[in-house]
């Protein structure tokens, strides 16, 4: 129902002539006064804004579909994550727009929004440190240092303890895969799950054997024979992603001969914690991985 309302609202406004990390904008964001009408164009960044004590006026559809936080009834949808309605943003008087520097469809809107007099800020969050940086800036804007302590400093204590304990163990080799309905890719430390695995003293064969990043092959995986294999899924249909994984790799008899598979160390990770950004659950995400890797 949210999707239908969202699409109808976008069409109506257009037809009636309405024209709606690392922190990449750190210095400007830190100086900004608290805005009155905020539009967040990814669900994960919307959640960080809420965790900072901010109020949202507009979000994209993925905040409803893919994220596990409550969107208030008075918040308006401004379209899909990769196609937010510029017409709505402008016509509704939005004064602060939060976008991802990793999404090309966002970065190309900068001039249009800036020329309309709208403050637009871009962020990239792949690691826990990135999350802390964005949370810090947002809480400086909202004036909620207490929420930086609650949702940042306190979680950091948990993460630091888990990471420190992991360094006491011998480094396991791992392979991180990302499956979608179209393809399976090997992923390295520049992803959310990959960064966590690196922090937890793992050696990801996709980081040491870069050929896997460009050309994933079962032969290369067999040659490296990692201790653990982890999979994250992306896209709205997880079943199709798993089917693609099966068609590409796991249906082969050779797959079952890998040590990780034979020893029960092949895991499909929860999307909410390891593909999307865990945000307030970073501590839980690290603890879960450490339990798998080291039994602690």
Task: Report the pLDDT averaged over residues 237-254.
Answer: 96
Q: Compute the distance between CA of residue 174 and CA of residue 260 in angstroms, rounded to an integer.
A: 9
Residue 95 pLDDT > 90: yes
CB 152 within 8 A of CB 136: yes
pLDDT for 14:
37
Residues above pLDDT 70, as percent of the chain? 89
Q: Compute the distance between CA of residue 70 and CA of residue 35 in angstroms, rounded to an integer.
A: 21
Can you say how many angstroms the Cα of residue 17 is from the centroid of all Cα atoms in its chain? 34
Residue 211: count of CB within 10 angstroms of its CB:
11
Residue 118 pLDDT > 80: yes
Q: pLDDT-based confidence at 209, cuts 50/70/90?
A: confident
Closest to 206 in 3D by CA, of 190, 30, 168: 190
Q: What single DSSP character describes residue 256? A: G
Q: What is the pLDDT of residues 151-202, one digit of tens each?
A: 999 999 999 999 999 999 999 999 999 999 999 999 999 999 999 999 999 9
Task: Report the pLDDT averaged over residues 257-280.
Answer: 96
Q: What is the pLDDT of residues 3-39, one digit of tens each?
A: 434 444 443 333 333 333 444 444 354 445 789 999 9
- What average pLDDT does the chain have? 90
Place of tokens 């080799």: 173
Task: Report the pLDDT averaged over residues 243-267.
Answer: 97
pLDDT for 10:
43
CB 100 within 8 A of CB 122: yes
CB 167 within 8 A of CB 296: no
Residue ranges of domains in the chain, CATH in brackets: 38-151 (3.40.50.1980), 168-294 (3.40.50.1980)
């Amino acid at each position: 129902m949210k999707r239908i309302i969202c699409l109808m609202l976008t069409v109506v406004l257009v037809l009636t002539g309405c024209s709606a990390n690392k922190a990449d904008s750190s210095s400007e964001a830190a100086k900004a006064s608290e805005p009155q009408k905020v539009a967040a164009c990814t669900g994960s960044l919307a959640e960080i804004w809420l965790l900072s004590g901010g109020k949202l006026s507009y979000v994209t559809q993925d905040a409803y579909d893919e994220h596990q936080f409550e969107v208030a009834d008075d918040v308006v949808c401004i379209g899909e994550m990769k196609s937010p309605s510029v017409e709505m943003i402008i016509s509704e008087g939005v004064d602060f727009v939060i976008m991802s520097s990793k999404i090309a469809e966002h970065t190309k809107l900068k001039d249009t929004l800036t020329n309309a007099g709208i403050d637009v800020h871009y962020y990239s969050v792949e690691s826990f440190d990135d999350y802390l940086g964005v949370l810090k800036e947002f809480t400086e804007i909202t004036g909620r240092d207490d929420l930086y302590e609650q949702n940042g400093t306190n979680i950091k204590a948990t993460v630091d303890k888990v990471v420190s304990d992991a360094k006491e163990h011998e480094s396991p080799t791992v392979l991180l895969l990302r499956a979608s309905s179209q393809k399976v890719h090997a992923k390295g430390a520049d992803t959310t799950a990959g960064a966590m695995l690196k922090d937890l003293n793992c050696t990801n064969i996709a980081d040491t054997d870069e050929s896997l990043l460009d050309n994933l092959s079962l032969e290369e995986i067999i040659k490296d024979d990692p201790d653990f294999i982890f999979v994250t899924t992306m896209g709205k249909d997880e079943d199709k992603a798993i089917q693609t994984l099966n068609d590409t790799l796991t249906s082969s008899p050779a797959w079952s001969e890998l040590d990780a598979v034979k020893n029960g160390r092949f895991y499909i990770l929860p999307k909410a914690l390891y593909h999307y950004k865990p945000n307030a659950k970073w501590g839980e995400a690290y603890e879960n991985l450490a339990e798998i890797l080291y039994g602690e």
